[in-house]
Structure 1
């Protein structure tokens, strides 16, 4: 289950998508200039690994 801290961060990004570019620039990642930041589909289920069942090899 996600923590409250995780949920707070998600809400920050949902309410201000450009925050991500500020954070990335803060750690030295170059971001091209842009006029507007928008969120796309936020469902990350397509990127999650399926749970493992049984012994891992």
Structure 2
């Protein structure tokens, strides 16, 4: 499910995966933040768990 702001410019607010698999809240639009390269223990690769289109 994708919740989108309906006031002003539409932008995503929350992405929620089916079956209680988790959600991502996007509430800090327009705010600056620092970026850094994550450590090896901070990375998660879901690439092998998400089926490609047409498979």
Structure with greater helix percent? 1
Say which structure, 1 or 2, has more relative contact order (CA 8 Å, 6+ apart): 1
Tell me the TM-score normalized by structure 2. 0.25
Bigger CA radius of gyration = 1
Structure with greater strand percent? 2
